[in-house]
Each structure stands twice: as structure tokens, then as C-alpha cells.
Amino acid sequence: MAIFDKFEQLAEERRRLLEGGVSVDPLDTVMGRVLSPTEAIVEGRRTILAGTNNYLGLTFDPDCVEAAAEAARWEGTGTTGSRMANGTYSSHAALEQELADFFGRKTAIVFSTGYQANLGILSSLIGPDDTILLDADCHASIYDGVRLSGAETFRFRHNRVEDLERRLRRLRDRSGEVVVLVEGIYSMLGDRAPLAEIAEVTKAHGAYLIVDEAHSLGVLGETGRGRAEEAGVEAAVDFVIGTFSKSLGAIGGYCVSDYPELDLLRYTSRPYIFTASPSPSIIASTREALRILQERPELRVRLWENAERLYRHLEGLGFRLGPEVSPVVAPRLPRAEDALALWQGLLEAGVYVNLVLPPATPDDSSLLRCSVSAGHTPEQMEAICTAFSELRDLAHGA
């Protein structure tokens, strides 16, 4: 059909990918049965999951599972309505208050997904008369949110504070507001934003600062609040956006702020107004996970021990990695064919990681993106490291 002609190049690239002898489509891998936070049956084989973003391993936590089941028994499987209609339950309001309290902020809004949190906040908070400066490596949901805002948008080079400052100086005479957008941990290479320096130059130029803590909630900071807490600049961050789908093991998103006017966005944010609210079971398990995050700091300690172990092992094998130790450990390979061969070899060895190909990567390299978890046992970490060691020769140009 002609309407699909525009996808012919994509279809051809996918055909070429699958003609290379790969037995499983790496872009459409099916988890036959999930056994635990760190294991599943894939292609009939028991497989260690090393690419799930399940940083604290809470998806099977008994308290989270029981909270979700109890909520479904008492309040049903879904809300069948938006927050503006019949979709605000007492548990939604309770989670918003708990998030505000956790972050030490005055207000919070919960969305149905993390993607919608960025769409909903950015498209309604920022207007056509405003200007946005965003890190070039920001997530697709941030790009989509700023596109919907209608604001003029400029990218600055990834984590380059001097480039941000140069662009802020050029915007000095703009009549609208200027907003700077960055992430706490970047999802592809696992590197942190230099947030103390970014906050300093942003405030020096009178701009607003928004930080997406999707991959840093529960991972960074003394209490797990993210990169802003770790960098000691929470007071300089105007809005924190994040997701429940990483450390909290569920699905949903949020924004917290000290501006009480944030609540006005409930009446203007289309992704908030016209989307069914999260189901009671999701809200219940998220609330329980947020409690666990605060009460079990040992999970964060275990996560970083596992991250350090994998990063140093792959570094010792000669792989080109991101610039620092992180729960996201991503070997970079210049040739997609080598990345695909190594991905399949790992899967056949019982280790699942994410294969990420251009243009989704920060540069023209391909990634074997691993994300470790507090749930990975020492034995599982050893198996992951061993698999990479035995298959190292498949990555010719790494």
C-alpha cells in the first residue's frame, strides 16, 4: 500500500539485519516467561536479564506485588477515566503527596507514563514565546515535548557547560522565558550531567532549569532523589521530571516543584487531561516501591557494587565504554555487524542485553547496552562477565 512506501528503506534495513544469520530479531525480542527481576525464558532458554533498567530489582518484591494485588481486589483493574473526569482516586492524591514529601517539594503531579510526563509538562509549561536550550543527548520524549510547546529550541553539545553558557549569553535580550533541559543520567552511555556547573550558569542568566531524573531516581544521591541531590543543587532545579518504570519497577511518571502554580497545568496539559489515569494496582506498587527506596539503602549499595564490577571487567577486556561507572554499562562497537554478532552470542550464552543501533545512539557507533540491577546475584554477575570474556573476539573493532 502506497501509504507505507515511506518505510521501505526501514524495511530493507531490517531485512538486511535479519539476513545476517541472526536467529532472533534483536529489535523484537519476546520474553517467553519472566521468572524474576533478573531472569526470564527467552527462546526456550533460561536467560539472565542484563538490559531492563530494573535498577533496584523491585518488580517481584513481595510487598510491591501484594500491594498491587490488594489494590486490584479493592478498586478494580483500571480507572476507565482521566484525572479530570472520574480517574482521580485517593491513592493518586496520596502518591502525589508522598512524592512531594520525598523530594522536599511543595507540589507533585502524576502522569500515566514517564513519556507523558515530559510531553505533558513541557508542552504546557513552555510556550511559543519562550526559548529552550536542551542537551543534545536528551531523550525522545523531551524532544517531542518541546516540539509540542512551539518554543524556539536550541541544542547545546552534550554535557558541554561552556557551550550552554555561550548560547545563554546570546539569548540575553529575548523577551520570553528561557528554559534549560538536561537529564541526571543519560540512558545510552550512563554518564551524569555536570549539574552543579549547569545550575550555576543557568541561574546566572536568569533561566529556568528542568532535570529529568528518569535513570537517576533511586540510583544517585544520599537518599536516592537523583543527580540534583548528589550534586547538591536541588534548590536550583525548578522542576524535576521522572518515571516509575526504572527504579520503582512499575509504569507512570511525575513532576515535582516548589512552584504551587504547577497545579494549573492540570487544566492545560493535554496528555494529563485526555489520558486514563494509572490503574490502582500500579499506584499501589509504586507507593510501596517508593517506601522501599527510602528504607533500604542497601539496594543502592548493591547496585553500585554490581555496576563497578561489570564496568571494570569490560574495561579490562578493552571495550570502549561510557566515560564513567554507572548502572548503564554500554560497550560501543563501530560496526553494526559486530554488535549484532556479539548480541546473538550473548543471548545464546544465556545473557540478554539491549542492542542499540544508529540513529538511536549518540554517535555512529552501535551499543550493547547493559543495565545492572541490585537484584543481580554475584553468580549472575560472574556469568555475565564470563560470557563477554568468551565472546570478546566477535567484537573486532571495539
Q: With contact defined as beta carbons under 8 Å apart, do 129 and 179 qualify?
A: no
Is 6 among the catalytic positions?
Answer: no
Is 187 among the catalytic positions?
Answer: yes
Give the C-alpha separation, 381 to 70, whole Å.
Answer: 34
Active-site entry in 187, 269, 281, 373:
187
Active-site entry in 92, 139, 246, 376:
246
Active-site entry in 92, 139, 215, 376:
215
- Strands 107-111, 253-257: parallel, antiparallel or unpaired by DSSP? antiparallel
C-alpha cell at 375: 537484584
| Dihedral (CA of 301, 306, 309, 310) sign | negative
Q: With contact defined as beta carbons under 8 Å apart, do 200 and 147 qualify?
A: no
Q: Alpha carbon 200 to chain centroid distance? A: 25
Give the C-alpha separation, 311 to 87, whole Å.
Answer: 44
Amino acid at 291: R
End-to-end CA gap in the chain: 41
C-alpha cell at 37: 527481576
C-alpha cell at 178: 528561557
Q: With contact defined as beta carbons under 8 Å apart, do 37 and 375 qualify?
A: yes
Give the C-alpha separation, 103 to 204, whole Å.
Answer: 24
Q: With contact defined as beta carbons under 8 Å apart, do 109 and 264 qualify?
A: no
Task: List the beta bridge partners of residue 211.
Answer: 182, 240
C-alpha cell at 207: 533561566
Which residues are annotated as catalytic? 187, 215, 246
